[in-house]
Amino acid sequence: MNPFINDYVRVQDRGLAMGIQNFGITAGNLLSVALLYTLTNMVAVELAFPIMTGLQLLWIVIILGFRMI
């Protein structure tokens, strides 16, 4: 999955790190489908795309603002 696990995680903890990574991927997929699709499905198309764009831009601001990248 992530090459940084092999580079920066101790051999004894690699299974735990991969488990946490897989949990995060699964939770993110479920939340994006369940929450975002449900919210934008109830809204008109002309409003759904700006909402999604705003959420994506907010996510970028959060990631860059907290210096996660």
Residue 59 has a CB neighbour count (10 Å cut-off) of 10
Given this model, what pLDDT does residue 69 score?
A: 62
Given this model, what pLDDT does residue 26 score?
A: 92
Domain ranges of the chain: 3-65
The pLDDT tens digits of the residues spanning 5-51 come to 888 888 898 889 889 989 989 998 888 888 877 877 888 888 888 88
The span from the CA of 28 to the CA of 30, in Å, is 5
Q: Which pLDDT band, with edges at 50, 70 and 90, does 57 fall under?
A: very high
Stated pTM of the model: 0.56
